[in-house]
Each structure stands twice: as C-alpha cells, then as structure tokens.
A = this chain, B = another copy of it.
C-alpha cells in the first residue's frame, strides 16, 4: 500500500497566518508541528504502508522538502496546475501504477487534525484489506459527535452485515447540510462525516474513473503515455476540467463501495472557528496563543506570535496578528476572510498574499 497526501491547497481561510507560499498544510495550526509533517508522521506509523507520496503544486516543492522530514524529492508528485481533487488523485494513481501496477493507494488530506493514531491505523488497515479482497472503493468516515454544518456526510447501509465490524456498504454522499438537516443526519445514526480519505487499488480507481468520469479518464490515458515515455504533460493537463472526487466520482459509485465508520477524533480545521474549537480554553472560554490578553470578553480566539495583542470588551472575535498583517474577524464571518484575500489580490497587494 502507498499513501498519497494531497498537499496542494492554497488555504486562504487562514490568512494572514497562511500565505500563498506557506499555506495551511505547512503551518503549525495546532501544536508546534506543521500539518503535513503531522500527516506524514501519522501514516509512517502504519506498517502496511510501504511508501508515502505527496502531491502538490510546483511552487511548494522547495518549502515541503525543507520543512517536512521524510519525503524524498522523488516522492513528490507535481500537478502542473490546481484542478481540484479528481485530476490530482488520477495523476497520483498513474504515478503509483508506474512503480507498481498492483499498488493499493490510500489518499489522505495533508491538513486535517486526527487524534488517536491507533484507531486511525486500524481503520486504514481494514480499508486496505477490503480494497484488495473486494476490488472496491473504500472511504473512511468519522462518527459524528454533533450536527456539524461544516462537513459533508456519508450515509451507509445499515441492513447488509459484513465480515468486519464498523464496515458498511456505502449508500450516499451528501454535501454540507443546513442546521436542521445536519440534526436529522445525526439523529438517524447512519451518517458519517466525510473526511476525504479513500483507499482503493489503482486499477479499481482507474476503472471507476473510466465509467463515471470518462472525460477525465481520456486525459489520464494520454498523460499515462507521456509518463511512460518520460515526457511532460502540461498541455494535456491544461485541458482537464477541474472536478472534486466527491462530486465527480463518489456521488456516482454504486452500492459495491464501502465506508468504514471510524471513531478517532477528527477535525478538518476548515476555519479559525475550527481551530478555536480544538484549542485549550482559558478563563471565560478565551483561547490565547502567544503574546496576548483578553479583558472583559469571552470565547475569543487570539493568536499573536510576535507583538502583544490586547482584546478588550468583545466576545466571539478572532484576532490573528502576524509580522506584516493583522486580522480581526467576527466568528460568524470567518468565511469572509477569503474576501479579504480577494481584495488584496485585486488591489495588487501581492506582498500580503
């Protein structure tokens, strides 16, 4: 089995802490280790994983080689351009196939928080067994602990009994729900959070892409020939339509796919709010990382790695201070941080991107 870590994201939601040249996966969001390194270290503990690959953008390769230990340059797969997850995964599958036509491939996001590596390892190992023995698509879902509207959901089949505990036939992929629907999902008991982790044999994946994403598949076949000949493929890549693996493939695969209901602690750290949620609280629910204080306020998140930051008389505020930029955002507007980045881009403030 080979692990492929998807590490090409741009992560504007963590601006100003994250920048184009240092996106979320290269940042220490929780603790002192960067997210990609944490992911590598977690996968390294799984005995059946022979090797770990990282798929990313060209402009991040140098930073990854410098800041992440244990990934040799030959294990970095470069996407010529960001095309969302389906093409990224397809390209990675081609590269693994070159090395090992019988490869089992595990796809993992680079920037999620997982607590409980034994449960994680067990889930991946179980997934591998099913992917090999059943020639199936296997995904790992997380048992939800609250009705989150920030995650996609996976519904599973509760009727068919399988040989492994906690393994189910996949029923449907559902997009991020509204609050009422999230509550129904949670109450129904047969929904898991979609954690973006997939395990399959490379040939299983390619067969499924051929069936459900024929246009992408055609491009991959052409790229495969270039790879075999040792040639570049950027021109073919340019013609690929961006698509997510969830929407392009997983929402379409039939009932022969599997989902593992895992119960390790998981958080995709999708916004400053998520970081607040997983952080240790001080008095009055405030989180203060670094050099700061909160006075007459509660449930604030303050991250100040250099200068001193004082927050007074406010609640539910996120304050992030960096060397050249400061962000102050209400917790219920963290999604709008992307608009700040967009504004900076439009106004030519490239030094802040």
User: Which residues of A294-341 are within 8 A (CB) of B?
Assistant: 295-296, 304, 307-314, 317, 319, 321-330, 332-333, 336-337, 339-340
A92 → B minimal CB distance (Å): 36
Chain B contacts of A308 at CB under 8 A? 16, 324-326, 349, 352
Looking at A16, A328, A330, which has the most chain B CB atoms within 10 Å of its CB?
A328
A343 touches B (CB below 8 Å) = yes
A293 touches B (CB below 8 Å) = yes
- Given A295-B343, A336-B295, also A311-B323 (CB < 8 A): no
- Please, how many angstroms separate the alpha-carbon atoms of A245 and B319 in the complex? 42
A347 → B minimal CB distance (Å): 9
A317 → B minimal CB distance (Å): 7
The contact size tier of chain A is 20 to 34
User: Which residues of A110-165 are within 8 A (CB) of B?
Assistant: none
Asked if A340 contacts B312 (CB within 8 A), the reply is yes
A46 → B minimal CB distance (Å): 40
A7 → B minimal CB distance (Å): 26
- Please, how many angstroms separate the alpha-carbon atoms of A337 and B328 in the complex? 18
Chain B contacts of A337 at CB under 8 A? 312
Looking at A311, A322, A349, which has the most chain B CB atoms within 10 Å of its CB?
A311
- Please, how many angstroms separate the alpha-carbon atoms of A313 and B352 in the complex? 20
Asked if B343 contacts A328 (CB within 8 A), the reply is no
- Given A295-B340, A295-B343, A343-B293, also A310-B333 (CB < 8 A): no
A137 → B minimal CB distance (Å): 40
Asked if A319 contacts B328 (CB within 8 A), the reply is yes
- Given A337-B312, A340-B312, also A321-B329 (CB < 8 A): no
A138 → B minimal CB distance (Å): 40
- Please, how many angstroms separate the alpha-carbon atoms of A325 and B349 in the complex? 23
Instruction: Report the nearest B residue to A347, measured CB to CB.
Output: B293
Residues of chain A at the chain B interface (Cβ within 8 Å) = 16, 293, 295-296, 304, 307-314, 317, 319, 321-330, 332-333, 336-337, 339-340, 343, 349, 352
Q: Can you list 27 contacts pairing A with B, beta carbon distance less than 8 Å?
A: A16-B310, A295-B336, A295-B343, A296-B333, A304-B326, A307-B322, A307-B323, A307-B325, A308-B324, A308-B326, A308-B352, A309-B326, A309-B327, A310-B325, A310-B328, A310-B329, A311-B328, A312-B330, A312-B337, A313-B330, A313-B336, A314-B314, A314-B317, A314-B333, A319-B328, A321-B326, A328-B328
